[in-house]
Chains A and B, each alone.
Chain A
Amino acid sequence: MTVREDRTSPRRRGVYGWVDPRGRRLGHWAFILNRLTGLGILLYLGLHLVVLSMLATGPNAWDNFVSLALTPVFLAMDVVLIFGLLLHGLNGIRVTLVGFGLVVDRQKALFVSLMVIGAIVLVVASLHIFEVG
């Protein structure tokens, strides 16, 4: 594009402008949470691949990990993971619809509605996780 790149400006907020929540409204919270959960899911993907690689080291290592994964701390981390997946996925639906010009003037209500659905699913999933655990 024709815009000049100006990195000398002392006032450009940089990545801090993404995550600074002061004075921001609902849409920006959705923006912040989408980025944070996206990074979290990426981190989980890496960890998941590391954990799966234990399968190659034999059944003992895997069984030890499974017994660790059933401890309350790990189960709580599963709940956090599901929270991240739900928020990122459901907000992704909003971003896709609104990003192509649909329901733009209802984007706040759409976000709130999807988050309510996500909260219900999270509660049900959490109960199930600790029940099985």
Chain B
Amino acid sequence: MTAQESPVTEQAQAPVDTHATSGTGRHVRFRVSRFKQGDQRPHLQDYDVEIAPATTVLDALTAIRRDQDPTLLLRHSCFHASCGTCGMRVNDKEALACVTEVSDLDCDTVKVEPIANQRLVSDLVTDMIDFYDRFRAIGRPLLRQSEAFPDSEVAPGVEEHRRYESCIECGLCLSACPIVASDGRYLGPAALAAAQRTVAEPRGGDTFSVLRLTDDAQAAWRCHLSFECSEACPSNVDPAGAIMFIRRKLAGQRVNSIFGRRS
């Protein structure tokens, strides 16, 4: 092995910052939605940002805030699709800015807007109270039985393998849903998906009352099957599939009640 091929030589090379937003040569224009309290409506403002192969939309936005415009407001936290705070509309599609690489968008202009159908606070920040309110009646299951290691032994002192529920409460499903767009009374996909999880894995919860809450013209029966919530979900929750699961349960209950059977 020659010195050039040795792994030691490779390790000695300076690390390349694939997320860099300066000195890379490629510029992308970001058209960012701006809105401050008192404005009539949001408007788009352009910023040019240098991007590297792995620069994410969130990298670019934080670079804009750092280098060009400190008044730009956005929410973010974990940078790895776990917290759900950086949900936005990127080129008219719902996405988590932290895992959306600019190079994957394959365009020279990237439009960034806040998630839709929520009260706008400022720029890319929305008030999530309305989103969280929707869980109030249903409840918010947090821990679920883990399906990752079905054959593994559970360690002494551990009841069962558990993991967090898949929903990261980013609000992208509500942003994508055309029914939420026109009717704020609709319970919405996120809360209905939470209801489905409660019914599918009760964990001591009252599944009867949860199902009864979903059996409403503004709940499970309000969905019109655009499936945009499932397309937008970055966490494989599949809210539309969950709503159809609930409907099948409810329809089964109706059929059983006709024939005098208890479900």
Contacts and interface: CB of A to CB of B under 8 A. Distances in A.
A90 B81 CA distance: 38
Interface string B38-67: 000110000000000000000000000000
Contacts of B120: 9-11
Given A13-B117, A105-B241, A28 B187 contact: no
Contact of B227 (A9, A11, A22, A28): A28
Interface residues of B, number: 49
Contacts of B251: 100-101
A131 interface: no
SS class, residues of chain A in contact with chain B: loop
Which of B182, B228, B244 has most A Cβ within 10 Å? B244
A48 interface: no
Given A2-B137, A11-B119, A17-B182, A27 B248 contact: no
A44 interface: no
A10 B251 CA distance: 37
Interface in B169-197: 178, 180-182, 184-188
A98 B225 contact: yes
B79 interface: no
Interface stretch (B8-16, B126-134, B141-149): B126-134
Given A4-B133, A25-B231, A101-B244, A12 B226 contact: no
A15 B231 contact: no
B33 to A, nearest CB: 10
B261 interface: no
Contacts of B223: 99
Contacts of B182: 12-15, 17-18
A57 interface: no
A24 B89 CA distance: 12
Contacts of A22: 92
A102 interface: yes
Contacts of B84: none
A23 interface: yes
Interface string B101-139: 000000000000011111110000010001001101100
A31 B119 contact: no
A27 B226 CA distance: 4
B126 to A, nearest CB: 7
Given A1-B216, A28-B226, A95-B225, A102 B248 contact: yes
A104 interface: yes
A100 B248 contact: yes
B117 A9 contact: yes
A7 to B, nearest CB: 7
B91 interface: yes
21 contacts: A1-B218, A2-B133, A3-B218, A9-B130, A9-B184, A10-B120, A11-B114, A11-B117, A11-B120, A12-B184, A13-B181, A14-B182, A17-B116, A23-B92, A27-B231, A28-B228, A31-B224, A95-B225, A98-B225, A102-B248, A104-B241
